[in-house]
Amino acid sequence: MITGLDHVLIVCPSIDDGEYAYTALLGREPDWRSTDPGGSATVIYQLENTALEIMSPQGGGPLARRLHGMIDQDGAGLKSLIFACDDLADARSTFDRRALKPDEIVDGESIDPHSGTARYWSRMRLDEQATHGVRIFALQRKLPDPMTYKNAKPNAVSGLDHVVINTSNPDRATALYGARLGLRLALDRSNPDWDMRLMFFRVGQLTIELAHKISAGVGNAPDKLWGLSWRVPDIDAAHERLVAANFAVTSIRAGRRAGTKVFTVRDGTLNVPTLVLSAEPA
């Protein structure tokens, strides 16, 4: 079944603009660059516990048309979750029994033109209605994978702490991410002061956070991928680095998790609400 979050996908109109923005934000260079004859260009940043893929349309192929459609629909931003599996065929059988209507498994290949190195994987997509509007894929990398995590400076992002998904129906979301996808529900907390119910699902050293606005009541609107919270070893140095790079950032404040510090990045994130969090409790 699911062993982690292989990567998150951000789609934007220009791959050059996307690479420039996230190289500056993360404080690290991409680990992979490639193009797809179907009509896309991609850069990937491999982190400790997941990866970030940025994709843009290129040319006029079918993939380019789909990416343009995503951007036309709701702009650049966070578009997909791609979970990791160690046995994709077995996972597909399980997801099929749980009415997630997975597509057939397809093989993928990517070649980095700078190094000539190739990567291979298999993946499948779950039915978007069954996942309540969130694009979810499952992927199995073929080993050895040449894309590996590289240590960087303490002021650079080292990993992803959590992904935030807004939901109009928390019980429906709990059934999907817990019972059907098999993620572990670590905490379910309501706080009237925040007007929020928050559900935290742990997978592969990070958290999928489902957020529900209590005052809005329960509805049937689709869930929405919303934001990302990045970990840094040295949050003070990371804040200083982003200020020097002309990002609009808030001051550092105490995080909701005891012993942590956080700050918000207000621009330069390709429309993705972004939090930076100290990697370990102080």
The DSSP result for 92-160, as a single string, is: HHHHHHTT--PPPPEEEEEE-TTT--EEEEEEEE--TTTTTT-EEEEEEEPSSPS-------TTS--EE
Q: For residue 77, give Cα distances in angstroms to 29, 157, 180, 226.
A: 20, 19, 26, 9
Is pTM beyond 0.85? Reply is: yes
Q: What CA–CA distance (Å, rounded) separates 45 from 42?
A: 10
Which pLDDT belongs to residue 113? 87
**CA separation for the pair 242, 178 (Å, rounded):** 36
Q: Look up the CATH architecture of domain 159-278.
A: Roll (3.10)
Alpha-carbon span 81 to 87, nearest angstrom: 18
Stretch(es) of the chain classified as CATH 3.10.180.10 = 2-141, 159-278
Matching CATH number, 2-141, of 3.40.50.300, 3.10.20.600, 3.10.180.10, 3.30.70.3270? 3.10.180.10
SS3 70: helix
Q: Residue for token digits 């190094």?
A: 115
Q: What is the pLDDT along the chain (282 residues), one digit of tens a residue?
A: 999 999 999 999 999 999 999 999 999 999 999 999 899 999 999 999 999 999 999 988 999 999 999 999 999 999 999 999 999 999 999 999 999 999 999 999 999 988 889 999 999 999 999 999 999 999 999 999 999 999 999 999 999 999 999 999 999 999 999 999 999 999 999 998 889 999 999 999 999 999 999 999 999 999 999 999 999 999 999 999 999 999 999 999 998 888 899 999 999 999 999 999 997 654
